[in-house]
């Protein structure tokens, strides 16, 4: 049946709907540029969702654990071999995503007899010197969205993902109203947690609901903190070694947030 173009388009549409359904409960992940680097933040119940990829690259992912693991290992493998064969300075997130990961995701998504990747990824890359940070969202179909700065879009020093599009939209509009590039780590943690709360509320809200007010977001965050663990990591500009990734402990973050 798939020889007919219309059937193929229909099969792809069904597949997209299926994957979106699977991803829908995915808890938001927030990445924010701040004074000392980049902070990645989420709350999780069961699995780790924030990972180190290379010296200046971190990953947050939602989706099926098996697929996330394969994509994570692939990203580490590609970055490590590039860094070994040439130099750590030649490892670039944009190339990693455009050249290697996106084609692999697209191929798996469109080969309708094979399994697609049930995954949505958020990469963050710490800018070198005065270069801006790069936040890159990579979806199950291989599509890429970055934080702009070129291509006639305003540069945004953040990146977010969540299970549903309206949660992503709400977090983005919440963050566009904030100035955070000069904040300290503690203030950035507060902002990231509030953003997460806005996104998490949107997962269970109507698609066109208004942004929740600050008190509602704060209340929701406290409820969720009671039975989830905090996951946070930073890419630090002035790290002592070339590897800039550092995971923050749950109690360290909790002490700041509560």
The answer for 93, left when phi > 0, alpha when psi is -120 to 50, beta otherwise, is alpha
Q: How far is the CB of 37 from another protein (least distance, A)?
A: 18
Q: Report if residue 13 touches another protein, rule: CB under 8 A.
A: no
Q: Report if residue 85 touches another protein, rule: CB under 8 A.
A: yes
Judge whether 41 and 190 are in contact, CB under 8 Å. Answer: no
- Which residue from 23, 38, 39, 53 is in contact with another protein, where contact means CB under 8 A? 53
Q: How far is the CB of 69 from another protein (least distance, A)?
A: 9
Other C-beta atoms closer than 10 Å to the C-beta of 218 total 15
* Residue number, 4 or 46, with CB nearest to another protein: 46
* Residue number, 5 or 240, with CB nearest to another protein: 240
Enter the tokens of residue 53: 């990829």
Within 126-185, the residues that bind another protein by CB under 8 A are none
Judge whether 132 and 155 are in contact, CB under 8 Å. Answer: yes
Binding part of the chain for another protein, among 70-78, 139-147, 152-160, 191-199 by CB under 8 A, reads: 70-78
What residues contact 55, with CB distance under 8 A and at least 6 apart? 83, 88, 91, 242, 243, 244, 245
Three-state secondary-structure class, residue 253: helix
Q: Report if residue 187 touches another protein, rule: CB under 8 A.
A: no
Q: Report if residue 246 touches another protein, rule: CB under 8 A.
A: no
DSSP per-residue string spanning 145-213 = EE--SSTT----SEEEE-SSHHHHHHHHHHHHT---TT--HHHHHHHHHHHHHHHHHHHTS-TTPPPPP
- Which residue from 34, 51, 109, 174 is in contact with another protein, where contact means CB under 8 A? 51
Binding part of the chain for another protein, among 18-26, 146-154, 201-209, 239-247 by CB under 8 A, reads: 239-247
Interface with another protein: number of residues (CB under 8 A): 21
- Which residue from 12, 24, 104, 257 is in contact with another protein, where contact means CB under 8 A? 104
- Which residue from 11, 205, 228, 243 is in contact with another protein, where contact means CB under 8 A? 243
End-to-end C-alpha distance for the chain, whole angstroms: 57
* Residue number, 87 or 154, with CB nearest to another protein: 87
Q: Report if residue 80 touches another protein, rule: CB under 8 A.
A: yes
Q: How far is the CB of 251 from another protein (least distance, A)?
A: 19
Q: Which of 89, 71, 34 minimizes the C-alpha distance to 234?
A: 34
Alpha carbon distance 62, 38 (integer Å): 19
Three-state secondary-structure class, residue 29: strand
* Residue number, 129 or 240, with CB nearest to another protein: 240
Q: Can you give the binding site for another protein, defined by CB under 8 A?
A: 48, 51-54, 70, 73-74, 76-78, 80-81, 83-85, 100, 104, 240-241, 243
């Amino acid at each position: 049946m798939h020889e007919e173009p219309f059937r193929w388009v229909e099969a792809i549409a069904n597949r997209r709907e299926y994957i979106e359904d699977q991803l829908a409960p995915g808890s938001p992940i927030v990445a924010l540029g701040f004074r000392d680097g980049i902070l990645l933040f989420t709350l999780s119940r069961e699995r780790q969702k924030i990972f180190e990829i290379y010296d200046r690259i971190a990953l947050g992912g939602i989706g099926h654990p098996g697929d996330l693991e394969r994509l994570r290992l692939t990203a580490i493998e590609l970055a490590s071999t590039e860094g070994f064969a040439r130099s750590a300075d030649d490892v670039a997130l944009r190339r990693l995503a455009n050249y290697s990961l996106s084609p692999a995701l697209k191929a798996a998504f469109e080969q309708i007899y094979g399994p697609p990747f049930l995954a949505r990824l958020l990469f963050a890359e710490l800018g070198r010197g005065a270069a801006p940070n790069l936040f890159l969202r990579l979806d199950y179909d291989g599509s890429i969205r970055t934080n702009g700065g070129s291509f006639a879009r305003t540069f945004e020093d953040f990146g977010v993902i969540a299970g549903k599009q309206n949660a992503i939209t709400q977090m983005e509009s919440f963050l566009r109203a904030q100035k955070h590039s000069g904040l300290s780590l503690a203030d950035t943690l507060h902002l990231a947690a509030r953003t997460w709360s806005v996104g998490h509320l949107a997962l269970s809200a109507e698609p066109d609901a208004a942004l929740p007010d600050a008190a509602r977001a704060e209340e929701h965050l406290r409820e969720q903190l009671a039975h989830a663990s905090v996951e946070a990591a930073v890419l630090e500009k002035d790290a002592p070694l070339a590897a800039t990734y550092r995971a923050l402990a749950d109690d360290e973050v909790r002490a700041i947030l509560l």
